[in-house]
Amino acid sequence: MSDAWIYGTDGGEETSRLLAELGFSPHRVAANGTLRPPEGESRAPALALVLANGLEQPSCAELCARLAADDELGEVPVIVALGSEGLLEGIGVAEGHELLVEPFTAEELQARIARARRAVNGIDHDDIVRVGSLEMNLATYQVAIGGRPVDFTYMEYELLKFLVTHPKRVFSREALLNRVWGYDYYGGARTVDVHVRRVRAKLGSEHAARIKTVRSVGYRWEGT
């Protein structure tokens, strides 16, 4: 299940409930300067929701800027939720990838999430990423090329998923190790090269070249 992190000074119970109904695992983050929930979640969430109402230190703009600048959270889709008074003052209107005005319904939340994930990660509303004949279904962990299933191991799948949903950005081996493997690996930084090679072999000629090796830096996914 994908994590969703909720930033706010108070409230948010209703938003948590709605996110849980949509299949996310919600975690509250006290917006007092930290960017991560207290439970020590190691992986970046699928989504960040900023409840802009009452945010002062840091301001909504500061918080969004810090999220964007964070090594691990930089490409998390950010949705900013505002009260209508915030809308009048223009605070937070320009921040994040999507805007929500309170009160909002579950349907609207779902639609805004889908738009933000589509814009940032290329994930369609049905949780499928489509790149040419490649289809990656994030809900069922299945990958198909031209409708034919391709069987990945878990780590190969996780690596491909990360690259595919973070297109056009170069990631160092170190960054990929931290973000895809966490601390659960034996092979050291070379593990990344080994897995890239395996994933390319399984992807076959049409898609293998989409994983670009950026010499002495790392890897980049070219979706288009």
- Near another protein by CB under 8 A: residue from 187, 206, 209, 222: 187
The amino acid sitting at 167 is P
Residue 70 C-beta: closest distance to another protein, Å: 22
Q: What is d(CA 32, CA 9) in angstroms, rounded to the nearest whole number?
A: 8
Residue 189 C-beta: closest distance to another protein, Å: 4
198 binds another protein, rule: CB under 8 A: yes
How big is the site for another protein, counted in residues (CB under 8 A)? Answer: 25
Query: Of all helices (H) and strands (E), which one includes residue 190?
Result: helix 190-203
**Is it true that the peptide bond before 167 is cis, omega within 30 degrees of 0?**
no
- Near another protein by CB under 8 A: residue from 25, 110, 142, 178: 142
Residue with smaller CB distance to another protein, 35 or 155:
155
Q: What is d(CA 51, CA 66) in angstroms, rounded to the nearest whole number?
A: 15
The CA-CA-CA angle for residues 111, 97, 53, to 5°, reads 90
Residue with smaller CB distance to another protein, 152 or 171:
152
Binding-site ranges for another protein (CB under 8 A): 140-142, 149, 151-158, 173-174, 186-191, 194, 197-198, 201-202
